[in-house]
Structure 1
Amino acid sequence: MPTESHLLMDGALHVYRRENSRYWQCSTYLGSRNHRQTTKEASLAAAKDFARDWYMERCVEDRQRRRGGVALLDSSVQPLIAGPGASTDGRRRQTPTGPSFEDAAKAFTSEFEIITLGERNPRYVSSKSEHVRIHLLPFFGNTALADITAGKVQEYRAHRQASRVDPKTGKPKKPARATLHSEMVTLRQILKTANRKGWIVALPDMTAPYKTSGKLEHRAWFSPEEYKMLYEATRERAKNPPKPRWREVCETFHDYVLFMGNTGLRPDESARLQLRDVKIVNDESSGERILEIEVRGKRGVGFCKSMPGAILPFERVRKRKNLKPTDPIFGKTPRELMNTVLGELNLKFDRDGHVRSCYSLRHTYICLRLLEGADIYQVAKNCRTSVEMIEKYYGRHLKNTIDAAAVNVRKPKLLKKTSSRSDG
């Protein structure tokens, strides 16, 4: 028999405690049957709060049952397996329902290519599906979108730091900063898709906690001495290739290095370059013969005016390949040959550990132009980038961009006044 009892909800709800028990219980009569439940609370105030919530759930169940539907919470069915984070106090709590992360990921991958309207690189579009299939979906899976919070996103970041193991060392193989950033961009795009469909009200905070401002490091480039070493090595390789059948490839690679170092094109832009996109002209402002190049790349169509040193390698390639107007000048980027030559010259990494590649020829062009005193706005315009990018990744690492005369300013020393005493 209950030793102490309290009435709530106008007498429809009973909260009571039996003899020799420290926990309060609650009961009500609904739908021609009695309902009872332990609150698992020793405090009367906490037990009353639990009882009110429990009573409202029973009312909703009873109303749903009388309307011919299925009960929202079936007290007779208990979960077979308690998942991580499940309650261990025996209470029945509502679990978030609605569309899952998998539903949002499928919606995103199915419409992403259509949304981009073919303006993005096909490899970039396919990488989104790889991010979902390999990393995001195995972690989030059928998680309800309502459960993806800022804490869940941070758990994913921590998970990725140890998700792969290096087979050689047996230690976790951490992803590169750019790799993790790309995955977080894909995750944000999936959640934006869910937001557009009305599945979530707002996106969670996805900023990385504990992160301070990173160092501003320069892009890997070749100093004038290193660039001279590179093209002299490619010239020697073109004259004496490792195998006679590689002669044409080595000669084209030598011209590629000179052409890229005198134009500042991106590797993907040079790969798309056709003979009809290049013209040899006499520049009126400089009085030199240069190349006018119509560039097609990630920024759309732009134009580039080369240094005079780009004419000779261009003419050699045109004559060697007997190019037609629609033929590519260089075609596929020679990454393997570049890595081979850089490895032989011990130039694959700069002193800060940055990896050099074909893209470093573009960085070399920009740095050499700035070292020669070229106008930074004109360099940015010719390279189809912004002044901000050049100042951030190139300008601040070059000594010639600092005007010593403007920095080493000194105030003129004041002459001491000589005091004269008057006789008198």
Structure 2
Amino acid sequence: MAHTYDEFKIRDGKILLYRRSDSGDNWHCRIKFPSKPYIRRSLKTDSREEAKQLAEEIFAELNYKSKRGLAVTSRKFRAVAKSFVEQLDARVAKDTINDKRAHDYKLVIDRYLIPYFGKKSIDNISDADVERYREWRKVYWISGEGSKAEFIEYERGGKLIRSPKRKPKLPSNNTLNKEDSVLRQIFQHGRVHGFITQEEIPIIKNQPVKKNRRPAFDVKEYRRLIRVAYWRYKKAPDENVAARRRLLHEYVLFMVNAGTRPIEAATLRWRDVETFTAKNSEGEQQEYIKISVRGKAKKRTCVPMPRIAVYLERIKAAQIEHGKQNDFTVEPDDLVFRDRYGKSVKSFKKGFDELLEASGLTYDNHNLKRSIYSLRHTYATFRLIYGGVNVYDLAENMGTSVQMIEKHYGHLKPEDVAERLTRVVM
């Protein structure tokens, strides 16, 4: 049976009020502005006169926004955030953002942003709302919703992981800034889709972050690290340990001469390594290596030190030998860093920590604990001090910003670059 509707228009047809006549349902309105899609609202009343008054109020509010260039169509924050997540999935499929970063964004959205802002219209979130959110977020694990949880659940590699909750503490300003970055991106996503204007986006200020010195190795320490790594695999108790330590030795050499991130090295394939020729400073043609890496965000190309060719040749030769023993081949699409059974090495952390301890290099002179990332920092430091590379070229090659280079390597002293500072150019 077809339903019949009560309906009438006001404001010269700009507002249509309607409801099902056979049920006594609440009234709804449909409002039309030039060059805009229809805007529908539930008036939540069955009174004709009250519905008319409410529709007039909605029209007046939207008309005010329209005349001032503000968004007249809006969405709940939850809907815009979910739309942003769909866009993230599309970017992962196109390889313009890596899985880990997308996963981290989703975690922030599902755990903090949607629970707090979800029911609010995105264009009604104010500066004060953002400040109140930040206070709520700071105590989330201490006295808020997170304090009630005995375990933390998250997804990794398609599997649901359940781990005991750590002792709660206030999040660092660096953590808050990273999470605020996700919030900014959701607002910009809403702006692009017409749910909020730039003027309506609240101010989200970065929190001050202490300038961190990143622990690296000086030349003497680096040579010691390599020497110990070499003797550890030479004196390994069995073939399995020897293979792991030998690959770690090559990995350390690779990282300090390429400056890649650990995730970029972990996803590097043989087809990503190419040679090319270009003129050197003497005007002569010289052969170089370039590697295509993917990791933190999108794909990029970097040019490592030429000696990296030797390390890659040794890694490939070892893989070929292991393949003969364990029935696997080495193909262009295979990962560069694989174990003796042809399986990918997901992390060198444990082996590297053991190497640091064996070398007596776990902490630097400022008592900062070193990690695998210290190899990337060593690359940057060596290029600045000994390579004479300017920060702009270095930032491009490392896939980072000039600001990050200056922020984390600004501790270099003038005497560290004395030769470069006093170089005479005629």
Range of TM-score over shorter length: 0.5 to 0.7
Residue in structure 2 matched with residue 292 of structure 1 by the alignment: 289
Q: Do residues 326 (structure 1) and 333 (structure 2) align?
A: yes
Q: Alpha-carbon deviations, 1:67-108, whole Å to 9, x = none?
A: 4848859xxxxxxxxxxxxxxxxxxxxxxx974322332232
Aligned pair count? 319
Of the structure 1 ranges 104-113 and 230-239, higher mean CA displacement relative to structure 2 is found in 104-113
Gaps of 5+ in 2: 1-42, 56-72, 151-163, 321-329, 339-344
Taking structure 1 as reference, are residues 296 and 175 closer, same or farther at Cα in structure 2, changes over 3 Å only? same
Q: How big is the shift at 1:223? A: 1.6
Percent of aligned pairs sharing the same letter: 28
Taking structure 1 as reference, are residues 139 and 328 closer, same or farther at Cα in structure 2, changes over 3 Å only? same
Q: Which of the residues 117, 141, 144 maps onto 1:140?
A: 117
Q: How big is the shift at 1:277? A: 3.9
Distance 1:231 1:110 in 2: 45
Residue in structure 2 matched with residue 397 of structure 1 by the alignment: 412
Taking structure 1 as reference, are residues 144 and 352 closer, same or farther at Cα in structure 2, changes over 3 Å only? farther
Residue in structure 1 matched with residue 171 of structure 2 by the alignment: 175
Residue in structure 2 matched with residue 362 of structure 1 by the alignment: 376
Distance 2:166 2:394 in 1: 47
Structure with max Cα Rg: 1
Q: Which of the residues 242, 258, 267 maps onto 2:253?
A: 258
Q: Do residues 102 (structure 1) and 101 (structure 2) align?
A: no
Of the structure 1 ranges 216-225 and 149-158, higher mean CA displacement relative to structure 2 is found in 216-225
Provide the secondary structure at the position in 2 that maps to 1:262.
helix
Q: Do residues 342 (structure 1) and 338 (structure 2) align?
A: no
Residue in structure 2 matched with residue 90 of structure 1 by the alignment: none
Residue in structure 2 matched with residue 227 of structure 1 by the alignment: 222
Distance 1:181 1:100 in 2: 23
Distance 1:282 1:111 in 2: 39
Q: Which of the residues 232, 237, 243 maps onto 1:248?
A: 243
Gaps of 5+ in 1: 1-60, 74-96, 408-424
Residue in structure 2 matched with residue 113 of structure 1 by the alignment: 89
Residue in structure 2 matched with residue 187 of structure 1 by the alignment: 183
Taking structure 1 as reference, are residues 64 and 138 closer, same or farther at Cα in structure 2, changes over 3 Å only? closer
Q: What are the within-5 Å matches in structure 2 for residues 22-171 of structure 1?
A: 65-67=47-49, 69=51, 72=54, 99-114=75-90, 117-165=94-142
Q: How big is the shift at 1:343? A: 4.3
Q: How big is the shift at 1:364? A: 0.6
Of the structure 1 ranges 168-177 and 135-144, higher mean CA displacement relative to structure 2 is found in 168-177
Q: Alpha-carbon deviations, 1:308-358, whole Å to 9, x = none?
A: 3x3443222111111333332215442232233334445444344655332
Provide the secondary structure at the position in 2 that maps to 1:356.
coil
Distance 2:166 2:98 in 1: 35
Taking structure 1 as reference, are residues 198 and 378 closer, same or farther at Cα in structure 2, changes over 3 Å only? closer
2:257–2:304 Cα contact (<8 Å) kept: no
Taking structure 1 as reference, are residues 383 and 237 closer, same or farther at Cα in structure 2, changes over 3 Å only? same
Q: Alpha-carbon deviations, 1:108-166, whole Å to 9, x = none?
A: 22333336744111222222221111122222342343542112211222222221149
Taking structure 1 as reference, are residues 359 and 196 closer, same or farther at Cα in structure 2, changes over 3 Å only? same
1:275–1:329 Cα contact (<8 Å) kept: yes
Taking structure 1 as reference, are residues 362 and 111 closer, same or farther at Cα in structure 2, changes over 3 Å only? closer
Residue in structure 2 matched with residue 94 of structure 1 by the alignment: none
